[in-house]
Amino acid sequence: MAEKVGELLTDVKGREILLSIHRDGPKRFNQLSKKLNITDGCLNYHLLKLKSKNYIQKDDDGSYSLTEQSQKIIPIVERVLEETSEL
């Protein structure tokens, strides 16, 4: 699990996407793009990367939500970020 936490700590955009979904609930592509102010290409790249690592899933309604795996990891990531004042 430490390796997965480390990945999320170093992938700033991926972490922002996961934390946004964690805090506000499932989001569609355009909602994430607007909220995080990132280009469609950048967002698509990171969503594919997060999906391939089983951190997010695309639901039947087209929104992205957290997997069980990421729901376990995010509280640890938040704790580390709080301790380093990067949240």
pLDDT tens-digit readout, 38-60? 999 999 999 999 999 999 999 99
Answer yes or no: is 87 within a domain. no
Residue 80 has pLDDT above 70, yes or no: yes
* pLDDT value at residue 36: 95
Position 86 in a domain: no
- Residue 4 is predicted with a pLDDT of 59
Q: Using H for helix, E for strand and C for coil, what is the string for 53-76?
A: CCCEEECCCCCEEECHHHHHHHHH
CATH number at residue 18: 1.10.10.10
Domain-embedded: residue 23:
yes
Structural domain span for residue 28: 2-81
- Give dist(CA 41, CA 13) in Å, integer: 12
- Asked if the model's pLDDT at residue 87 lies above 70, the reply is no
Tally of domains within the chain = 1
Is 7 contained in some domain?
Answer: yes
